[in-house]
Each structure stands twice: as C-alpha cells, then as structure tokens.
Structure 1
C-alpha cells in the first residue's frame, strides 16, 4: 500500500442507530478509493458461473473492484483466477471477454503465461541478469477461490474466512434460486453489459432492501402486466412479505403471498410445486423462491423470479458497469430455458421494462450528488427501524417487506470494513515498524 493514502473514519457518515446516512458516501472520490482498498480487496467477490468453463483452456475475464481478472480452467480442470496484468509492464495479457486458449501472451513485449499462471516464455531471456528467476514472475493469483452451487467467488485476502462462512445465513435464501434442481444450475444467453451513471452502492442497496419503489417507479410496467391493463398489479405491490438482514451485509426482500408472482407462465407451469415444497420447504417456496430481490455483499445481486444474477462493477464514484446473466435449472427443457432467458431480457435486461426504471432512478440520484447543498444532505433510512425480529419462519433477522432494514445492514458492514485495516495494510504496518527499529 502506498504510504500517502489516508483513511477516513466513516462513522460520521452513517448514523445507523438513527437511520441516517450522509450523501457524501456516494460521491466522495477519497471514500471511493478507500472502498477499493478496504471493501473490495478483502471481500469475497462473484466472478462467474461454473457452467461457463467446460473444457481445459476455457477462460472468462472480469473485474474484482477495478482490478481486471482472468478466470481460467487449467489442464488439471482446476479453476483459477489471476490479475489480468503482465508482470513486466502491467498491460493486460488477455483482452478478450471469453474464449479458449493454451496460453496468455502480452502483446507489448511478448511475456507468455500458461493456464496455471506460470511464466513460460520471456523473449530475449538471455539478456536478463543471472539472478532473474523466471518461475517467480507468474501472474498474480487470487488468495482464495471457491464455489457455491455453481457460483464462483474469489478474494485477494488470504485471511478471509471460508466462502461458506462469508455467505453466512444468506445461503438459505440463495438456495431458493440455486437448489431447485438436483442437477444444479447453468447460465444461458451469455453476459449482458451496460454502463450507468450512478454509484454502485445505490444498486446494491436497492436489491438488498427496496420493495418500496416498486409500486411507484415500476407503475407503468405493472400496468402492462396487469390483466386489465388499467392499473398496477395490486397483488404484487400491496402484499405482505419479509425482509432479511444479514449481519455480514447481505439482504433479501420477498412477498409471502401465493398470488404475489409475476414470473413467466411457461416457466411457472414447468415446476412441480409439491416436489419443490419437499425439497426446499414451504417457507422458501411461498417466499424467496416466488419473487423478490437480494444482494450478497458487496456487489452481487439476483432476482429469483427470472433467474437474473448480476454484478455492479464500480467504475469510479459516479459510474458503474452492470454485468448480468440468466441462470436456469439444468434439467429444464430447452424451450423452458429459452422462455426464462427471454423473460429476463424483457424485464431486467438492459432494455427491460423494469431495468430502465431502476437505471434512470440511480442516474438521477447521482446527477445532483456533487452540488454543495444537495451533496451534503442527510438521507433518511428509517423505514422499519426497530421492527426487525426473528419471525420463527424465515431464518435470521427479518422485518416487514417495506423497510430499509437490509440497507442499514448493508451500510453497517460497509462502515465496519471501511474502518478496519485490511490484511495488506497490516502487512505494510509490520514492515514499516521493522524498518524503524
């Protein structure tokens, strides 16, 4: 870590016991740089889905925070992830989105790396000094990589707890989408990517906690979906439900009424709901499996109703890049998989009738964030404050569906990480202390 980096105590920005947040957390460049060091670098981050890697040599490029990353399946069929940066001058060694390769070669000076990240070729190698050890200059590998029911996560933090522990109680809610089929899940239709003007946290917190906006922001979409075509689908927007708040920053919200669904008819008719009740239990089938929204801290979100999974890649304090996949059950017939894919695109694809509403909201919120008065506003996150309980049905702490509870939990985790030195800072402090003795 560079010694000139300063860290702010963000406790003054988030007064969560009163449900208040300073708007500066969405626009301050210094806080954003601190997020990259203390939120993204130490956390488990979603990379890809296992089904994207079928044969040795298959690869996919993505980001961890703003760090470019290659995910590759080696000859030993082991999945690995590396910093997509040549150890010579730092240029990306892979500039394709996905594909198959035998090696990655930097197009600047020709350093080449195999699928396990080992440096295998250095042009003009005889001109390097005798102490140059080629096997010490492989690609920088993530500290840990693991999967959860098809989802691939990694972290740079060698001290991070195992993935299962980092997901915590969220796995019960994740399984409502990932564990419907004994054969597991797969992604179909590739990856859709688009850029939005807005801070990444705006999207992550909404998917964790915000059902509140549905009947306002999505009124036109609900009107289209209403059987009468004359008004919002009231059984969706005026419904009982619960919101889960995880102490690790994850969150999920979902209706608990059997008619609170707006899934695709072909997909709905495919399921054997009695078999699903036996597999997942009544609470999941009547709640988080039917519809709803969720975020795995910090920037992975999903929608069970249409199989949408997405990452909010940060691109500065004012911009994010959205990457979205469609997840389906492996045993679905092809026509059902295709129906789910098309339904996802029509609702939450880059031009989807719901997605466009959300993107406009986040961009509009960000548009005024840099004004002096508007940028120093205190924002109200008090809905549902003090109303969270253990309801005896849904694991963990839950509250009413209309609540900011999971958003407060998200920012509590964000605050704690922002105020805690990461593993790389501790290592730097130890080295500095030795140097001053």
Structure 2
C-alpha cells in the first residue's frame, strides 16, 4: 500500500462475508485520503449530462473526488476533462458552474489555454523566459479517459481503467430503463442544483444502492403529508415486494413494480403518462420487464445516483471526511406536454430537491449517523449489514445479473462494500476484477 492502512487492516474493518462493518470507515482521515487517491483517482465518475455542454466551447465545472475538472466540448464535438488548475501557480481557470469560452485565461498571471488544454499564451513570454520556453510541456492536466453513455458524460484519471461499457456491465441494462424509455428521449430542465450534507459520502451512497426498507420509517411524515385529502387510504400501503440487483462492479439498485410511491411523489398525472400514455412505447423500446418498473433507486459505483420514475440524477461529492455535496439534474420526457414536464419536475423537487420532504428526512438521518461517530464509544461497536438471503439471488428470467426477489435485503450493500474494499486494496484493475469474479463465481457470497 502506498499510504494509509494495510490490506489486512482494511479487510478487518469491512468484512462483507460476515456482513460486519466498522464505523471507522466513515470517520478515519487516513481511509478518506486513500479513497481520494485509490478510488476517486481510478473509478469512472459521472461528470455531467451532455445536454449541459451542447455546443463547442461549452464547459461545465465538475468535481472528481476533491478535484475540480472542466468538462469541455471540443470543436470537433468530442469532450475532454481538464483539471481546473493553471500550471503556473495553481489558480483555478474558471469559477462559475458553467459557461462558453474560446479559451481559458488564468486571472492571476494571464496564462491562456485552448479548449483542449494546450498552453497557447504566456504574457511577456520573451521577457520572462529570455532563454525560450516550451509551452507544449505545460498544458492542463487532463483526465485519461472521458466517454459518454447515452447522454451522460463519465471520466476517469486512470488510463488502465476498463472501458466505460465494461465498467458499467449489467448495470447499463438497468440504466437504460430510464434513458431509453421514452420516444424523443429526456430533456434536461435547468442546470445543476447543489447542497451540502454533513455526512461521509458512503453513508449517502449506500442508501441508493439497496435501502428499500427505510421509507416506511424515515419518510412516514412526508408520506402522510403527500396523501391527497380524498385519497383511498386502503390503497396507500407501501409495497413489500420488489427486486434488488447487485453487480460485481459495485453497482446496485432496488426496484418496485407496484405500490403508491409515484402517486405520492410525482403525482397522478405524471404517473399516468409514465405507466399508461407512454407505456406502449416503453414496451417497444425497452421490453415489458423494464417498462413495468414504476420506481427504482440505483447507485452506479461509487457515487452516481439514478432515481427511476422521477427522472432525477445526482452525484455525491466528498468534500471532506464528514461532509458531502450533492449535485442533481432533473429531466422530463421531451415529448411530454410542457405543463406536464414542469409539474413532473416540480413534484420531484418537492420530494427530492434541496428542501424536499423526502430529502430533508434522509439528510437528517445521514447527518445523525455521522454525529454518532464523534465519540469513542460510537466508533467502537460494529454495524450489522447481514439482512437478506445470500443464496436467493440470480439468475432471474427477466432481469440480468445477480438479482434477489426480496425488497428488504442488504445484498446490494454488501456488493457495494466488497467493491470498495477491492478497489482500495487491489494494485491493478486486473487484480480488482479477478477478485470480483471469484466472489461472484458461486453466486452466494453477497
């Protein structure tokens, strides 16, 4: 190991074969530093939707772990990810969330870079470098790989990381449930929304990997507040059936095909469009199994969250050991009538926006977990991650990958932490993937 804890120490803190987690993984500075280097420095991470940068010269100021990256549409239509840092004295090249430029000029000493990151101009170059200066050696640092998947831009610093389709694996099939469902595709509504939660990033990500159990407790007041006055209360029972998907690559999701979740969030008009008006097209485009998905939550390892039915995508950015910044984008079916698109987005923001009913509930829990870790006793006792049958999973006749037909399970959470451990301890991607394939060979180790 280059820094931080040894492999044996990390395995002692994260034993997913036993389903036991040490609270230390959420509050140890040395582990956080390892994550920034070995996980966020190697994994594929969502940078932004392509609709955020439609034209050459458009750029978006993204986060990759603790680093800032300019996602820039090139003149030929390709996309690059440039470290938002001048090579002279390290000043950021752009401060706003997004914009359009012909070049990037540092506001400190005026070094200017083109859209591809090449250094093009140094003020008074002949005076300050009288012996000559090789500008080609001082361009912006760039992400090793940038690729799009159906309108979502991902990047990685690691040139040896597997190609994006391989990294997504079976999760791409589930991702298409939202991205391919509608004729005309999805339209981005507005830009990025951001807020801060005082919690370690893994606490937040884990919920979207697998936690289908918490709504009946955490969101009880929000659910009650969302019930229309004239609603039939007998139809408001939360579903206890569903499926969970887990991937050797650490991705995971939970999905429902029944229940009142959408009625209480996006509203009856949007649900009618989703499950009735656009349903025949969805069956044609993605098949009946995916068209029947009413609502789902998914986390693409490590930090990209997709909320199906709500058309809501977010990234969880670590900005410190015990603090995360959530960035969200809201979409709506491009072919839907404009009033319905706005209603859909408004209702989703009412539930999952910065001040949303459900988001406020979740944020309080996430921050509450982090607060319990401030004292020595709160860090001493292990957490349980054993829920769910380890044998009852995949193959499923309708859904690819490892699937369990039990909604209340921590199968996918164990897959998430298995992958977290493999990436922190694996010297190369070959080692990481070899470990994952061995783990999935018998289908029961989750």
TM-score computed with the length of structure 1 as normaliser:
0.91
Deviation (angstroms), 1:316: 1.2
Residue equivalent to 2:103: 103
Written as runs of structure 1 = structure 2, the 5 A alignment for 1:152-167 is 152-167=153-168
Number of corresponding residues: 419
Deviation (angstroms), 1:226: 2.8
Residue equivalent to 1:138: 139
Please say if residues 239 and 259 of structure 2, whose CA atoms lie closer than 8 Å, have aligned partners that are also in contact: no
Written as runs of structure 1 = structure 2, the 5 A alignment for 1:367-382 is 367-382=371-386
Cα gap change, 1:27/1:76 in structure 2, threshold over 3 Å: closer, same or farther? same
Residue equivalent to 2:402: 397
Deviation (angstroms), 1:167: 0.4
Please say if residues 56 and 77 of structure 1, whose CA atoms lie closer than 8 Å, have aligned partners that are also in contact: yes
Residue equivalent to 1:273: 279
Please say if residues 150 and 186 of structure 1, whose CA atoms lie closer than 8 Å, have aligned partners that are also in contact: no
Written as runs of structure 1 = structure 2, the 5 A alignment for 1:118-197 is 118-126=118-126, 127-128=128-129, 130=131, 132-197=133-198
User: SS where residue 278 of structure 1 aligns?
Assistant: helix
2:75 counterpart of 1:75: yes
Please tell me the root mean square deviation across aligned C-alpha atoms, in Å. Answer: 2.0
Please say if residues 236 and 259 of structure 2, whose CA atoms lie closer than 8 Å, have aligned partners that are also in contact: no
Please say if residues 239 and 260 of structure 1, whose CA atoms lie closer than 8 Å, have aligned partners that are also in contact: no
Deviation (angstroms), 1:101: 1.2
Q: For the residues of structure 2 that align with 1:21 and 1:181, how far apart are their CA atoms?
A: 40
Q: For the residues of structure 2 that align with 1:231 and 1:66, how far apart are their CA atoms?
A: 48
Cα gap change, 1:317/1:104 in structure 2, threshold over 3 Å: closer, same or farther? same
Residue equivalent to 1:427: none
Deviation (angstroms), 1:236: 5.5
Match of 2:308 among 271, 287, 304: 304
Residue equivalent to 2:442: none
Please say if residues 110 and 123 of structure 1, whose CA atoms lie closer than 8 Å, have aligned partners that are also in contact: yes
1:210-255 per-residue CA deviation (whole Å, 9 max, x = no partner) reads: 0110100000111122345899886552331011111100001011
Residue equivalent to 2:331: 327
Q: Which moved more, 1:201-210 or 1:256-265?
A: 256-265
Match of 2:6 among 8, 15, 21: 8
Q: For the residues of structure 2 that align with 1:371 and 1:76, how far apart are their CA atoms?
A: 54
Cα gap change, 1:112/1:304 in structure 2, threshold over 3 Å: closer, same or farther? same
Written as runs of structure 1 = structure 2, the 5 A alignment for 1:26-41 is 26-41=26-41
Residue equivalent to 1:212: 213
Deviation (angstroms), 1:266: 2.7
User: SS where residue 192 of structure 2 aligns?
Assistant: strand
Q: Which moved more, 1:327-336 or 1:144-153?
A: 327-336
Residue equivalent to 2:414: 408
Cα gap change, 1:109/1:197 in structure 2, threshold over 3 Å: closer, same or farther? same
Residue equivalent to 1:250: 251
Please say if residues 113 and 120 of structure 2, whose CA atoms lie closer than 8 Å, have aligned partners that are also in contact: yes
Cα gap change, 1:118/1:310 in structure 2, threshold over 3 Å: closer, same or farther? same
Deviation (angstroms), 1:340: 2.0
Deviation (angstroms), 1:393: 2.2
Deviation (angstroms), 1:57: 1.4
Deviation (angstroms), 1:130: 3.6
Q: For the residues of structure 2 that align with 1:188 and 1:16, how far apart are their CA atoms?
A: 40
Q: For the residues of structure 2 that align with 1:194 and 1:138, how far apart are their CA atoms?
A: 32
Please say if residues 26 and 322 of structure 2, whose CA atoms lie closer than 8 Å, have aligned partners that are also in contact: yes
Q: Which moved more, 1:176-185 or 1:245-254?
A: 176-185
Residue equivalent to 1:261: 262
Deviation (angstroms), 1:202: 0.8
TM-score computed with the length of structure 2 as normaliser:
0.89
Please say if residues 313 and 321 of structure 1, whose CA atoms lie closer than 8 Å, have aligned partners that are also in contact: yes
Please say if residues 262 and 271 of structure 2, whose CA atoms lie closer than 8 Å, have aligned partners that are also in contact: no
Deviation (angstroms), 1:150: 0.7
Q: For the residues of structure 1 that align with 2:425 and 2:24, how far apart are their CA atoms?
A: 16
Q: For the residues of structure 2 that align with 1:347 and 1:223, how far apart are their CA atoms?
A: 13
2:365 counterpart of 1:361: yes
Please say if residues 239 and 258 of structure 2, whose CA atoms lie closer than 8 Å, have aligned partners that are also in contact: no
2:319 counterpart of 1:315: yes
User: SS where residue 71 of structure 2 aligns?
Assistant: strand
1:70-93 per-residue CA deviation (whole Å, 9 max, x = no partner) reads: 011122222211000111111111
Written as runs of structure 1 = structure 2, the 5 A alignment for 1:45-56 is 45-56=45-56
Q: Which moved more, 1:152-161 or 1:276-285?
A: 276-285
User: SS where residue 378 of structure 2 aligns?
Assistant: helix
Residue equivalent to 1:421: 427
Q: For the residues of structure 1 that align with 2:142 and 2:173, how far apart are their CA atoms?
A: 30
Please say if residues 388 and 405 of structure 1, whose CA atoms lie closer than 8 Å, have aligned partners that are also in contact: no
1:117-147 per-residue CA deviation (whole Å, 9 max, x = no partner) reads: 1111101212226463102211111101111
Cα gap change, 1:107/1:276 in structure 2, threshold over 3 Å: closer, same or farther? same
Q: For the residues of structure 2 that align with 1:342 and 1:125, how far apart are their CA atoms?
A: 53
Q: For the residues of structure 2 that align with 1:258 and 1:312, how far apart are their CA atoms?
A: 28
